[in-house]
Structure 1
């Protein structure tokens, strides 16, 4: 089954480009991923990746002059995967990609000293199965996580008969 498979259910959230609203995005994606049957570890990874993508949008999308903007998050629910697209209408990267953005830790900084957003693109690529970044008018980061049903294989078939209790 390729990308032309079944139609996805779509959940959308638009929120102000302000750090105070990042928890709403994480909570929303957590609920969607939980409903899909992702493991606790995968849900935590998804929440962290969404937090990083939204933090990048809050910090970089709309200039330092206090220009108001918004961030859109779309969750596309397929039977086998969750595709999350974070979009802003800001300035885009405009050549801001640097080699150190894709390294595990910015040089000279300890991992404990990094705040949310500090690991940025590297962390997003590490936590998710597929990541596509588009930057033309604004930035769109598409992140895909596949449901790993094989991790719980057998658990669904496990039952206790009354004789065993």
Structure 2
């Protein structure tokens, strides 16, 4: 029987001390969707990176503007949309980091978007400078049941 689509809409103050609550909430919903611990951890880290970027870049460290979270679960995928009404950025300037250069210069930070792309199956950024950003991340739900073969 196909699973019905479920939607969760949440709003959190855009402050770093709310990131733990966001991670816990997303993890519980991912667990209910049937993900194993490894996939839950990947989803949690990707959402944490997206929300930390909102606090640091869109809201310049915090403020009273909200982080909007929408989670959509259906039989095929688990999708999280992180939205803000912050400064926005030019998505055309996003590029894959040169890891050799990054490591040789011993940089700290700056890999959040790369991490999100690595951990999730689908990622889309929509941003309008001065109006905000939407990050849509999806992880496909795979049937974890093991088949048995009779001999």
| TM bracket, shorter-chain basis | 0.7 to 0.9
Aligned match of 2:146: 153
CA distance in 2, matches of 1:18, 1:51: 12
* 1:3-152 → structure 2 map (5 Å cutoff): 8-63=5-60, 67-94=63-90, 97-99=93-95, 102-103=96-97, 105=99, 107=102, 108-109=105-106, 114=109, 118-136=110-128, 137-149=131-143, 151-152=144-145
Structure 2 unaligned segments of length 5 or more: list them: none
Moved over 4 A (4+): none
Provide the aligned C-alpha RMSD in A. 2.5
In the TM superposition, residue 47 of structure 1 has moved relative to its aligned partner by 0.2
Aligned residues: 143
Superposed CA deviations along residues 25-61 of structure 1, whole A, max 9, x for unmatched, are 1111100110011111100000000000000000111
Gaps of 5+ in 1: 159-165
TM-score, normalised on structure 2? 0.83
Post-superposition Cα deviations, 1:58-95, rounded to whole Å, max 9, x if no partner, equal 0111246x653110111001112101000000110146
Shift of 1:19: 0.4
Which is higher, the Rg of structure 1 or of structure 2?
1
Q: When the two structures are superposed, what TM-score results if normalisation uses the length of structure 1? A: 0.76
